[in-house]
């Protein structure tokens, strides 16, 4: 989010009603939406109870819907028993076994399709392989894979045997991988030799080896899928090839029937402290929220080809690649590589080639593609597209209008979906056949979700355009259950601010005179770089691990494509480097931080200073630093600074 975006969003008052053609065939009509909303309003728990009974296939039906006895550790449908992979696969076999489940496109151009039947067989074989390696219900399995169908197979296979997966984004470094393996005490890592990205192979197995070298005593086995064919080291007794692991395994696997609250997965995400948090999701509630939102928001019909471009390493890849659309029986597209490979027309080429009808991506990708001009998308037939989506950060109206006109040809509604790793599924979004859209607004909460904006005292703000905290006032099935191994942090992070009454998202937002929600960005020290969450503390800890760095403060600057980029003020041990020395050290530090955390965390700007501006109580004046990084006027009172001249130095002028 950028301040200029806030400006333009505040003055954005264009409104786009759903295109008539679309509305005429839409899955949810205005009357149906109104009925759902009324039902949810009258009896919220009853609403979710009905849907959980209708939409999920239960081994043992639940009697109790919401258990709030341990609130805010809410539990949903807790005495029910089911299996997530059964709900994503087996339920479709009788009527839709031969329907494509995954259409895969590799970066080099290889492609293949797996029907629901074929996918089920692959999942069962791999599930049996996991069992043969000793994996049991409740064990944690880390998945560190490229975007290939085997990543989904691995996730679904874990779900099938009741193992809890923790997918780590393939762009994270060995160090980040190691921390996540250790925090979850994973027994197994599933990886690949590598994956193709931007014409190069990303060496995943090597990173796993490095991660396990100085720790990872919990990990007993590593299964390696062969994707690139590049040579890798295999450690005797620990590592085995995917193809060997599945050899001779039966193509049926009775699902492990687990309780509704069984942890389906952990997914680590950044917060305001240095340590990433393992967001823990449930089985039934999560599945219900992702399935319903897939159907309501993406208007899924039987013949749709749905492409969510997110990597499975992020929650979007969990909810709208692996679980939601498969639970809904949809056909999904999965693409391995970089959006710009071999050129910026790749996304549009895939849309044409595979007949994509619903396309869901991030504003940062749209801004990068928009910059390349209109000729590239014009080269491809995008006429099958009927619905477009956006997620990850506020979409600036300029990118929205480009998406709408150049990609959607004004035919396709745009669903701007607001949600978080913690919410599990989409919380606010237009319902495409009903809601008039406004560029930059996620419009309204979807049925069953009770969102509000409150002031510092927790009072609901009714005055349009006054900003405040974005909160959710009622528990919902897809919500996180806790932070793995740290329930105290769950309580203090998300609930304590307003005395456990509301779930506190950490975003600021406002509602306009029509009640539409406009998210303005994070209220905490979380950055959104290319739509991905990074904590300032996490980056700062990486910096200070370098022997030359004494202290650092990280803030964000506005970036045309990334939305925000990382700007670090660094105090060195010894004297402040200048000139060529400063350039050299800055380059070294960029690499160092990239190696510590992963390439997405590499700072764009590094500025050296003799010290950092602090308040009397010793707190770093981040707001001041942010203003400096953004070249804004300084409104802070700097008279109390020990050395006010430091400001000129921080500005890079001395």
Residues that bind ligand WT7 (CB under 6 A): 269, 314-316, 391-394, 416-421, 442, 505-507, 519, 521-522, 528, 533
Nearer to ligand WT7, 193 or 538 (CB): 538
- Per DSSP, the three-state class of 463 is coil
Instruction: Tell me the closest approach of the beta carbon of residue 583 to ligand WT7, in angstroms.
Output: 33
Buried b (16+ CB within 10 A) or exposed e, 583-603: eebbeebbebbbebbbebbbb
Report the DSSP pairing between strands 526-529 and 532-535.
Answer: antiparallel
Nearer to ligand WT7, 417 or 444 (CB): 417
Nearer to ligand WT7, 62 or 314 (CB): 314
Nearer to ligand WT7, 128 or 361 (CB): 361
The tokens for 131 are 């069992």
Nearer to ligand WT7, 345 or 408 (CB): 408
Bond into 169 cis (ω within 30): no
CA dihedral 391, 396, 401, 404 (to 10 degrees): 0
Instruction: Tell me the closest approach of the beta carbon of residue 64 to ligand WT7, in angstroms.
Output: 29
Nearer to ligand WT7, 126 or 314 (CB): 314
Residue 265: phi and psi, rounded to 5, are -160, 165
Report the DSSP pairing between strands 482-483 and 277-281.
Answer: antiparallel
Instruction: Tell me the closest approach of the beta carbon of residue 528 to ligand WT7, in angstroms.
Output: 6
* Residues β-bridged to residue 418: 428
Instruction: Tell me the closest approach of the beta carbon of residue 219 to ligand WT7, in angstroms.
Output: 26
Nearer to ligand WT7, 18 or 521 (CB): 521
Secondary structure letter of residue 574 according to DSSP: S
DSSP code per residue over 236-278: TTTEEEHHHHHTT--S--PPPPEETTS--EEEEE--SSSS-EE
d(CA 186, CA 209): 15
Secondary structure letter of residue 496 according to DSSP: G
Residue pair 201/228 in contact by the 8 Å Cβ criterion: yes
Instruction: Tell me the closest approach of the beta carbon of residue 421 to ligand WT7, in angstroms.
Output: 3
Count CA atoms within 13 Å of residue 298 on its CB side.
37
d(CA 96, CA 455): 50
Instruction: Tell me the closest approach of the beta carbon of residue 177 to ligand WT7, in angstroms.
Output: 18
Instruction: Tell me the closest approach of the beta carbon of residue 564 to ligand WT7, in angstroms.
Output: 11
Instruction: Tell me the closest approach of the beta carbon of residue 78 to ligand WT7, in angstroms.
Output: 25
> Which of 627, 460, 636, 504 is closest to 3 using CA atoms?
627
Nearer to ligand WT7, 393 or 525 (CB): 393
d(CA 125, CA 121): 6
- Per DSSP, the three-state class of 9 is helix
Buried b (16+ CB within 10 A) or exposed e, 277-298: bbbbbbbbbbbbbbbbbbbbbb
Instruction: Tell me the closest approach of the beta carbon of residue 202 to ligand WT7, in angstroms.
Output: 21
The tokens for 627 are 């203003």
Instruction: Tell me the closest approach of the beta carbon of residue 362 to ligand WT7, in angstroms.
Output: 8
d(CA 251, CA 600): 39
Q: Helix 579-597 crosses helix 174-184 at what angle (to 10 degrees)? A: 40
Nearer to ligand WT7, 314 or 348 (CB): 314
- Per DSSP, the three-state class of 98 is coil
d(CA 270, CA 268): 7
Max Cα separation, the chain? 74
Instruction: Tell me the closest approach of the beta carbon of residue 394 to ligand WT7, in angstroms.
Output: 4
Instruction: Tell me the closest approach of the beta carbon of residue 558 to ligand WT7, in angstroms.
Output: 15
Instruction: Tell me the closest approach of the beta carbon of residue 654 to ligand WT7, in angstroms.
Output: 36
Nearer to ligand WT7, 224 or 327 (CB): 327
Instruction: Tell me the closest approach of the beta carbon of residue 418 to ligand WT7, in angstroms.
Output: 4
Secondary structure letter of residue 600 according to DSSP: G
Nearer to ligand WT7, 335 or 360 (CB): 360
Nearer to ligand WT7, 505 or 601 (CB): 505
Nearer to ligand WT7, 140 or 522 (CB): 522
Nearest residue relative to ligand WT7 (C-beta): 421
Residue appearing with tokens 């406009």: 518
CB-neighbour burial class of residue 547 (10 A; exposed 0-12, middle 13-18, buried 19+): exposed
Nearer to ligand WT7, 279 or 624 (CB): 279
d(CA 138, CA 162): 6
Nearer to ligand WT7, 164 or 443 (CB): 443
Residue pair 453/460 in contact by the 8 Å Cβ criterion: yes
Instruction: Tell me the closest approach of the beta carbon of residue 29 to ligand WT7, in angstroms.
Output: 24
Residue pair 505/472 in contact by the 8 Å Cβ criterion: yes
Nearer to ligand WT7, 100 or 531 (CB): 531
Instruction: Tell me the closest approach of the beta carbon of residue 99 to ligand WT7, in angstroms.
Output: 27
d(CA 535, CA 525): 6
**CA angle in degrees (0–180, nearest 5) for 483-486-488:** 100
């Amino acid at each position: 989010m950028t301040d200029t975006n806030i400006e333009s969003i505040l003055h954005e008052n264009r409104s786009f009603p759903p295109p008539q053609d679309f509305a005429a065939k839409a899955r949810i009509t205005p009357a149906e939406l109104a009925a759902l909303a009324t039902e949810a309003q009258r009896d919220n728990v009853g609403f979710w109870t009905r849907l959980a009974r209708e939409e999920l296939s239960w081994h043992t039906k639940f009697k109790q819907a919401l258990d709030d006895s341990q609130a805010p550790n809410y539990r949903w449908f807790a005495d029910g028993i089911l299996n997530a992979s059964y709900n994503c696969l087996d339920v479709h076999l009788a009527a839709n076994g031969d329907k494509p489940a995954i259409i895969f496109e590799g970066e080099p151009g290889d492609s293949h399709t797996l029907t629901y039947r074929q996918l089920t067989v692959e999942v069962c074989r791999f599930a049996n392989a996991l069992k043969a390696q000793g994996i049991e219900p409740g064990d944690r399995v880390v998945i560190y894979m490229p975007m290939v169908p085997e990543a989904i197979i691995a996730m679904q296979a874990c779900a099938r045997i009741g193992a809890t997966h923790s997918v780590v984004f393939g762009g994270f470094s060995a160090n980040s991988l190691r921390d996540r393996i250790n925090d979850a005490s994973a027994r197994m890592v599933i990886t690949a030799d590598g994956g193709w990205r931007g014409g190069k192979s990303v060496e995943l197995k090597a990173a796993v080896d490095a991660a396990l070298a100085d720790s990872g005593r919990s990990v007993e086995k590593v299964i390696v899928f062969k994707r690139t064919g590049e040579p890798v080291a295999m450690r005797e007794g620990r590592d085995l090839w995917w193809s060997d692991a599945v050899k001779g395994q039966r193509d049926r696997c009775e699902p492990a029937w687990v309780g509704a609250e069984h942890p389906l997965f952990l997914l680590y995400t950044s917060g305001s402290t240095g340590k990433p948090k393992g967001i823990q999701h449930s089985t039934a509630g999560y599945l219900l929220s992702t399935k319903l939102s897939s159907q309501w928001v993406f208007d899924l019909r039987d013949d749709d080809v749905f492409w969510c471009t997110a990597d499975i390493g992020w929650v979007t890849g969990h909810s709208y690649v692996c679980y939601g659309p498969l639970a809904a029986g949809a056909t999904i597209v999965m693409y391995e590589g970089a959006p710009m490979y071999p050129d910026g027309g790749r996304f549009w080429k895939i849309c044409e080639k595979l007949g994509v009808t619903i396309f869901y991506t991030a504003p940062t990708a749209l801004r990068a593609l928009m910059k390349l001009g209109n000729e590239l998308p014009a080269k491809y037939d995008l006429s099958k597209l009927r619905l477009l989506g956006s997620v990850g950060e506020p979409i600036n109206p300029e990118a929205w209008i480009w998406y709408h006109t150049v990609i959607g040809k004004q035919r396709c509604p745009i669903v701007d979906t607001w949600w978080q790793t913690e919410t599990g599924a989409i919380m606010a979004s237009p319902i495409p056949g009903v809601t008039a859209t406004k560029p930059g607004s996620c419009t309204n909460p979807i049925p069953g979700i009770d969102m509000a904006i409150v002031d510092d005292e927790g009072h609901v703000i009714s005055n349009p355009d006054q900003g405040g905290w974005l909160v959710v006032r009622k528990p919902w099935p897809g919500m996180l259950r806790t932070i793995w191994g740290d329930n105290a942090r769950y309580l203090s992070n998300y609930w304590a601010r307003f005395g456990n009454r509301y779930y506190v998202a950490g975003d600021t937002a406002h509602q306009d005179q029509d009640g539409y929600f406009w998210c303005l960005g994070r209220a905490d020290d979380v950055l959104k770089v290319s739509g991905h969450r990074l904590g300032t503390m996490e980056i700062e800890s990486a910096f200070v691990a370098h022997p030359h760095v004494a202290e650092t403060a990280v803030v964000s600057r506005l970036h045309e494509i990334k939305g925000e980029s990382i700007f670090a003020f660094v105090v060195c041990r010894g004297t402040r480097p200048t000139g060529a020395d400063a350039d050299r050290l800055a380059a070294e530090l960029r690499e160092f931080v990239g190696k510590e955390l992963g390439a997405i965390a590499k700072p764009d700007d590094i500025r050296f200073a003799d010290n950092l501006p602090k308040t009397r109580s010793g707190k770093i004046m981040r707001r001041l630093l942010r203003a400096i990084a953004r070249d804004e006027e300084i409104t802070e009172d700097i008279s109390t600074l020990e050395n006010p001249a430091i400001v000129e130095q921080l500005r890079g002028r001395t």
